[in-house]
Structure 1
Amino acid sequence: MVRTIAKDHDEKRKQILKSAAKVFADQGFDRASMSLLARECGISKANIYHYYDGKDALLFDILDTYLQELRETICGIELDGLSPTERLHAIVAATLKAYQGADNEHRVQTTGISALPPDQQDVLRGYQRDMVQQMSEAIRAAAPEVFEGEKGKLYSTTMSVFGMLNWFYMWNSHAGAEAREDYARLVSDLTLKGVRGI
C-alpha cells in the first residue's frame, strides 16, 4: 500500500529546514546528529527520517532551497528601463534584502557546500555563479572602460562587492529595509565612484 502524503507535508518540511539550518549553523555539519536535528525540529527521530534519509540529504535540501530562491529573487528583479548605475544599485539592494531573515541558511552556505558530493556542489555553485554573473555584468555595464580586457579585475571587483554585502549580513543582520537600502546605495556609490564619491 502506497503511503499517502500528509496535507501539511510541505509546511512541516519548511519548518524542518528552518530548524535544521539553525542546528547546522550553530553546531556545524559534522557535530550535528539526526537525533539533535529531530529534537530541534520538535519531532521524533523516526519522523525526521520520514522526510530525509540522512543529514546529507537534509543539508542539500536546505542549501538547494535557499540558494535557488535567492537566485530567483536576485536574478528575477526587473531591470528594464534602468540606467547602468541604477541597475547595479537595484541588484545590490535586492541581495541585501534577500539576505534578511536567512542568517542561518547563509552561514550554512559558507561552510556546508564542501561537505556535499561533487555533483550536488555543482548544482549549488551553479546558483551562486548565476548571481555573481548578474552582479558582474551590472558592474561592467556601469564602467565598461575600466574593465575592457580586464576579466581578472572585473571578477575581483565583483567579489569585493559581495564581500561588502557579507560584512553587512554578519554585523547588521537585524537591520531593517531602510538601513539595507541606505547601505546598498553606499556600496553602489563606493564601487563606482570611490570614497570621494560617497
Structure 2
Amino acid sequence: MEKHSVSRLIGAPPGYVGHDEGGQLTESVRRKPYSVILLDEVEKAHQDVFNVLLQVFDDGRLTDGQGRTVDFTNVVVIMTSNLPGDPADFFRPEFINRIDDIVRFHELTRENMAPIVEMQLEAVRHRLDDRGIELDVSTEAINKLADLGYDPAFGARPLKRTIQREIVDRLAMILLSRPVEDDSVAEVDVVDGQLEVRVRVPAHQV
C-alpha cells in the first residue's frame, strides 16, 4: 500500500482531485458506523497508513478530507499478516500496544489434512444427495486425497482442485455416460495405490 493510499482512505484534501468523493474508509464508516473492517496483509501498508490507524485505535475517530469527524468507536478492526516471526519485531511498539489481541495461526501439516478433506467432501456429498446418490469414501481414499491435496508451501490450497480432478470430474463422466437411479452409491477407494471412483447401483436394479 503506497503513501497516496492515505488519500483513498480519508479523502483528498481541498483543491485536490476527488475531494468531493470522501475517503473509502471514512465514508464507509460514516454511513455504517457499526462495521467490521478487514485489513489484509497489513504489514505491506505505508507508514503513513499506520499513522492513520494509530489515530483510529487511540482516539476512536478520524477527520476526513472534508473536515468531518468520523466516529470509529463502534468499529471492529481485524488485520491479517503473513509475517513469519513475532509481530513485535516488525510493527512499532505504539502500534502493537493498541491491538487488543493477536491470534497466531500455525502452518498446516499433513496430519491436519484428513478433517479438511472430509469438510471439502461434504460439498460433493450435498450435490450428490440432490440427485439421490450417496457418497461413500473409504479411510484409505481420504488419506490419499490428503496426500495429493497437501503442499508444504501452500497448505491445503491445492485440495479443492484435487477433489475436483480426482472425484468430481470422474463422477461427472460416469453420470453422463449412463443413467443412474436413486439410491445408487458413489464409492471412492484406493486400488493398487490409485484412487478409484465407481457408482454401485442398488440391489433392485441389478
Normalising TM by the smaller chain, what interval?
under 0.3
Per the normalisation by structure 1, the TM-score is 0.24
Per the normalisation by structure 2, the TM-score is 0.24
Q: Point out the structure with max Rg over C-alpha.
A: 2
The structure where strand makes up a greater share of residues is 2
